[in-house]
Each structure stands twice: as C-alpha cells, then as structure tokens.
C-alpha cells in the first residue's frame, strides 16, 4: 500500500480474472463499489505518461458473461459509467481470493471540471461496510466488496487492518530521500499483519446507524 497524491489517499494492488490482471486501486473507506477501466475505455484521465491497466474479459477464464446492467459512478471529480460484471478478485498480501466478485468495468469517463483527481491509480476498491447491501446485484447497487468478502466466507476473521505509510502521515523515514520515497504501508484482510500479532489493541464498538461509514461513538470530550 502506498500514498497516492491524486485523491490524497492510499492505494494498493489488486487483480481481476484468471490469469490475474493487475490494477492499482485507490482504497476508499466510504465508498462501496469496486471499479476498474475496461479495455474499451476510449480516454484516459490520469498522470501523463503513466499507462493505465485495463480489464479484458475475453482474456479471463473466470469472467461471467451475465448481463448485470449499466452503472453510473461519480468519484474524485470524474463521472464514470460502465457495465457490471463478475470475476475472480485477488487483493492483499496474504493472497486473498474472492470468487465472482461484482465490479464495474468502466467504459466512459468524463471529468466534472477542468481538474480531476484520477491520478496515480486505475480503479477504486470501496471498503464501506454496507451491512445492508443486497447479496445480489440490483438495478441501482452492487454488493460492496467488503460485504461480499464477508458473505462469501473468504476471511479467517471478518476484519481488515491498514498500516498507513509515512507519507500519508506527513513524514519520511530517516534514511529515505526523494529518490527512495516514503515507506510503504499495507492492508491485511482477515486479521492483522504478522508483526502486530502480539500487539494490544483497544476495541471500539461500531455504531451501526449508517452502514455507509465506519463510525464509533465518542464517550466524552475533554
């Protein structure tokens, strides 16, 4: 996982299909959809000179040809649209594999203004909780990646952990310079990274009033 300056957030590597087709995915904790550029995307709004990875269903043996409808997405000052699809999804350093993951293969993209934030990544991995998301795709909503992982029984424990890279915290390692760049972080699904196995964590109950966000209740403010 690394810091991406476009939407000022974190990105990780994921893959769709078999054999795996890699993507640089912006990790969004208040977004509930996985989407990536389709091979037919006619334009590319991203860093100049950086080739964007694209999804090719005809090169995947696990692509599902079902017609799941057309979806419209507004994210990071870009309007996206494309067809929903199902394929095997891989993400995380532990080799997590999720079968028949719903996602949107973007075929059209149009910036909402002269400046957009689609920089340094290909697609978006939404990890909003979405406890109330339907188990199957509907005309207006796909199952969130997180909810799908949980319902699919893909995880040892239904948790994920993020180690934030130093660049996102506003600093660099002492030995790092501009040529080396910031320390990378990590996202772990089904538990925590091995080096934190014996660490003590403070459990905070989640507020379930709104399934779009991860929220805890403040007991007091001093």
Which domains, and CATH codes, for the chain?
A: 1-222 (2.40.70.10)
Q: Own/partner pairs for 135-141, CB < 8 Å, 24+ apart?
A: 137/68, 137/69, 137/84, 137/102, 139/69, 141/32
Q: What is the pLDDT of residue 177?
A: 45
Q: Write out pLDDT tens, residues 85-112.
A: 999 999 876 678 999 999 999 998 887 7
CA distance 185 to 26: 13
* Distance in angstroms (rounded) separating the CA atoms of residues 170 and 214: 23
Q: What's the confidence (pLDDT) of residue 2?
A: 66
DSSP 3-state assignment of 64?
Answer: strand
| Main-chain phi, psi angles of 150, to 5 degrees | -65, -50
- Coil vs helix vs strand at 80: strand
- Partners of 160 in the β-ladder: 189
Evaluate the CA torsion angle 53, 57, 58, 60 in order and state its sign: positive
Give the H/E segment covering residue 5: none
In whole angstroms, give the CA distance from residue 139 to residue 152: 21
CA 98, distance to chain mean position in Å, is 14
Determine the pLDDT at residue 179. Answer: 38
Q: Please give the backbone phi and psi of residue 160, each rounded to the nearest 5 degrees, phi first.
A: -135, 155
**Which of 67-71, 89-93, 140-144, 167-171 has the least mean pLDDT?**
167-171
Top pLDDT among 43 and 181 is at: 43
Strands 160-163 and 78-91: unpaired
Q: What is the mean pLDDT of residues 69-86?
A: 86
Q: What pLDDT is stored for residue 182 in this prediction?
A: 42
For residue 172, pLDDT beyond 80: no
State the Cα–Cα distance between residues 110 and 45, nearest whole angstrom: 8
pTM listed for this prediction: 0.81
Buried b or exposed e, range 190-222, using 16+ CB within 10 angstroms: bebbeeeeeeeeeeeeeeeeebeeeeeeeeeee
Contact 63, 83 (CB under 8 A): no
**Number of alpha carbons in the 13 Å side-chain half-sphere of residue 7:** 19
Place of tokens 């805890």: 216
């Amino acid at each position: 996982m690394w810091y991406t300056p476009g939407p000022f957030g974190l990105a990780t590597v994921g893959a769709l299909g078999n054999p795996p087709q890699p993507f640089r995915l912006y990790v969004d904790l208040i977004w509930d959809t996985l989407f990536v550029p389709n091979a037919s995307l006619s334009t590319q709004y991203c860093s100049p000179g950086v080739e964007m990875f694209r999804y090719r269903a005809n090169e995947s043996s696990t692509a599902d040809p079902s017609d799941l409808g057309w979806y419209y997405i507004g994210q990071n000052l870009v309007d996206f649209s494309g067809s929903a699809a199902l394929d095997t999804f891989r993400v995380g350093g532990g080799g997590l594999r999720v079968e028949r993951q719903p996602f949107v293969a973007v075929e059209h993209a149009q910036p909402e203004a002269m400046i957009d934030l689609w920089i340094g990544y290909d697609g978006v991995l939404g990890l909003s909780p979405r406890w109330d998301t339907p188990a199957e795709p509907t005309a207006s909503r796909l199952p969130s990646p997180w909810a799908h992982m949980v319902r699919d029984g893909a995880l040892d424990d239904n948790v994920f952990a993020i180690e934030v890279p130093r660049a996102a915290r506003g600093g660099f390692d002492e030995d790092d310079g501009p040529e080396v760049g910031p320390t990378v972080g990590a996202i772990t699904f089904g538990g925590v990274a091995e080096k934190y196995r014996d660490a003590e964590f403070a459990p905070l109950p989640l507020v379930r009033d709104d399934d779009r966000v991860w929220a805890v209740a403040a007991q007091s403010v001093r």
